[in-house]
Structure 1
């Protein structure tokens, strides 16, 4: 507890790169597509 906690203007870590956000959107899209395909197979 020797070092003071950084304030909102001094983040401890750098924000994640936009690539991570893009990867999240790709995963969401893939999961949604899988749900649609599996749903279509299930209801036919």
Structure 2
């Protein structure tokens, strides 16, 4: 078999890191909203 080519379906590390930051931001926003509703 020939040398395996780099997979093209895997996201780049930068895209994965961006996705993690988006998830953290969304979770933080949800926590703020739930906290605001709970305190009011």
Normalising by structure 2, we get a TM-score of: 0.69
Structure 1 segments unaligned to the other structure (5+ residues): 1-8
Matched length: 36
After superposing on structure 2, the runs of 4+ consecutive aligned residues of structure 1 that deviate more than 6 Å are none
Find the structure with the greater CA-based Rg. 1
Higher helix share: 2
Ranked by relative contact order (alpha carbons within 8 Å, sequence separation 6 or more), the top structure is 1
Structure 2 segments unaligned to the other structure (5+ residues): none
Query: Over the residues paired in the alignment, what is the CA RMSD in angstroms?
Result: 2.1
